[in-house]
């Protein structure tokens, strides 16, 4: 029987701001892809920060990652493997409410990721995998001939923002472009208005 999951409110950004003191230049100098992570759950505040700063949309600050014409056709699907207080499952990040809404997908995230990532080893230890999922219909309405290119560009910028926020929070991260796109589309499209999985990244506790 399917477990009914509730929407998870993420911790208020006010809890972690102001910043840790890691400058953008330091974050860029120190960033290196991590292909293995320490065991243990990621704190919920860390996940909330990652999502809010890169993908959150507020009246006051807009969004950290730019979007052509403020159309925001790229959303985040969050596969939670090990996060404090969050049942492992697939969620959609709701950027205005700053919540994780369960997608009602039955698959177990870690097992599923192990099957679809080209670099399977990452799935064994990552705490969270984020897919940048594009709304192809909205992109065509807004961008016409530029739809495909703009979706991919925005997805790339969104994931890069997350890598920088990960560095700022001193957690491990790796951009993951090589995954079974057909399998990802089959799993995610029905619950994301036929969203296209464009790009992704793995996050976890750093190995010391
Ligand atoms: C578009 C893109 C796709 C990538 N896809 C993968 C991937 O599927 N699996 C992986 O382990 N690393 C992936 N990487 C990470 C690169 O392998 C990594 O950035 C490169 O080895 C340089 O190492 P560094 O990130 O530590 O500087 C990807 C990087 C980019 C930019």
Q: What are the pLDDT digits (tens) for 39-67?
A: 999 999 999 999 999 999 988 888 999 99
Domain 22-204: CATH superfamily is NADH Oxidase (3.40.109.10)
> Domains of the chain: which residue ranges?
22-204
Q: What is the pLDDT of residues 78-119, one digit of tens each?
A: 999 999 999 999 999 999 999 999 999 999 999 999 999 999
pLDDT at residue number 13: 72
Atom 31 of ligand 1, nearest CA residue: 175
Do 187 and 197 contact (CB within 8 A), yes or no? no
- What confidence tier does 22 reach under pLDDT thresholds 50, 70, 90? confident
Tens-digit pLDDT profile for residues 114-155: 999 999 999 999 999 999 999 999 999 999 999 999 999 999
Task: Find the farthest-apart pair of alpha carbons in the chain and give their distance in angstroms, rounded.
Answer: 49
Which atom in ligand 1 lies closest to the alpha carbon of residue 179?
8
Distance 177 CA to ligand 1 centre (A): 7
Q: What is the pLDDT of residue 18?
A: 59
């Amino acid at each position: 029987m399917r477990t009914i999951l509730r929407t998870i409110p993420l911790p208020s950004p006010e809890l972690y701001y102001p910043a840790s003191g890691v400058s953008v230049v330091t974050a860029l100098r120190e960033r290196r892809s991590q292909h293995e992570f320490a065991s243990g759950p990621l704190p919920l505040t860390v996940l909330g920060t990652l999502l809010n700063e890169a993908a959150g949309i507020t009246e006051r600050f807009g969004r950290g990652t730019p979007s052509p014409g403020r159309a925001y056709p790229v959303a985040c699907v969050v596969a939670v493997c090990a996060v404090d207080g969050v049942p492992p499952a697939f969620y959609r990040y709701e950027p205005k409410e700053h919540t994780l809404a369960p997608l009602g997908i039955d698959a177990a995230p870690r097992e599923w990721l192990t099957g679809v990532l080209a670099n399977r080893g990452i799935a064994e230890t990552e705490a969270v995998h984020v897919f940048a999922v594009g709304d192809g219909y909205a992109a065509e309405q807004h961008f016409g001939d530029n739809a495909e290119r703009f979706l991919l560009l925005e997805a790339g910028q969104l994931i890069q923002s997350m890598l920088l926020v990960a560095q700022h929070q001193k957690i491990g991260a790796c951009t993951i472009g090589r995954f079974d796109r057909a399998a990802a589309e089959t799993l995610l499209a029905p619950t994301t208005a036929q969203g296209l999985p464009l790009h992704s990244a793995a996050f976890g506790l750093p190995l010391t």
